[in-house]
Amino acid sequence: MMTKRALLALLLALPALAAAAAEAQRPTSLAEQWTPSEQALRMYKQNYFLFFAHSSNPNDTPTSPNPANQVPPSYQLDQNEMKFQISLKAHMMGEGRSTLWFGYTQLSFWQFYDFERSQPFRENDFEPELILSHRPEGKELGGFDASFLNLAIVHHSNGQVLPRSRAWNRVYLQAGLERDFGEGRKLALLPRVWKRLGAGGAEDDNPDIAEYLGHGDLELRYQHNGLATLTALLRIRSVQLDLALSSELVTPLLHNTSLHLQYFDGYGESLIDYNQRHRTLGIGISMPFE
């Protein structure tokens, strides 16, 4: 059944997501997304709910080089499930070009179609972070506006006990570069590099995680007239593609949400799957970026 933590996070986030979606009537610049406003909570990463997600190879027996993290065989997971991500940020301090933010992202995998086993959540990944953001003024790089530079420390874990526990801590540096082609067409590049903190030792749940998730990632985001957003998240051994189509293109019944299509191929879709390759294809709805 649904864990209390996952259910509470979802219920608490719904009002904020609805309010943020109502405000997101036009694509805003990357710099605006890191400018303090009167909103207590703002959208951070993608917010979506996939009603149907099909995995080519569900991870029935998660493993790790740490002997304490070998999960014994239990039962065969359903290849079809629901998947959703909640991601919000809050401005903490600073009113100028340098500001401090708190970010929170939760990625959940819900075996909704497994009625025989009471529709359990097979994985919930939690990612709180503290972000120092700086917005430079009038800086360009290769035809792109330099919108922000973020320095952050992030904890990423699935909140489980042994042998299912997976966790790591990182410090990262991320740049936000954006090019405006006019008529509502924008291309954003968000390169990020990170350094793992406190790796190794007998208590390391996943000592080889960097071999699969690497030391950074690159997000490319193309927005077209506020009607469609195509996002690609590239890592050393995986790619995730997300296409969000505005309700204006699909159906007015979606109101401020978009039809969302997602494809994942590689390693690390979730922490428990960090060292198992598979493909996932999903469809659902999403909230637009600010």
The string of pLDDT tens digits covering residues 51-107 is 999 999 999 999 999 999 999 988 899 999 999 999 999 999 999 999 999 999 999
Residues of the chain with pLDDT under 50: 1-2, 21-25
> Locate tokens 């030792």: which residue?
201
- Please report, for the domain that includes residue 233, its CATH number: 2.40.230.10
- DSSP 3-state of 18: helix
Give the model's pLDDT for residue 256: 75
Print the domain residue range for 150: 4-287
Give the model's pLDDT for residue 137: 86
Q: Is 215 a catalytic residue?
A: no
Point out the catalytic residue in the list 29, 54, 134, 155: 155
Give the model's pLDDT for residue 24: 46
CA distances from 191 to 146, 178, 212, 242 (A): 12, 12, 18, 17
Point out the catalytic residue in the list 157, 215, 224, 247: 157
Q: Is 157 a catalytic residue?
A: yes
Give the model's pLDDT for residue 1: 47
Q: For residue 244, what are the β-bridge partners?
A: 229, 260
- How far is 107 from 49, CA to CA, in rounded Å? 10
Give the model's pLDDT for residue 17: 53
CA distances from 159 to 7, 47, 58, 63, 156 (A): 14, 21, 20, 17, 9
Q: pTM of this prediction?
A: 0.89
**Token couple for 81:** 């499930």
User: CA-based angle 17:1:72, to the nearest 5?
Assistant: 115
Number of domains in the chain: 1
pLDDT 10s digits, 28-62: 789 999 999 999 999 999 999 999 999 999 999 99
Give the model's pLDDT for residue 119: 96
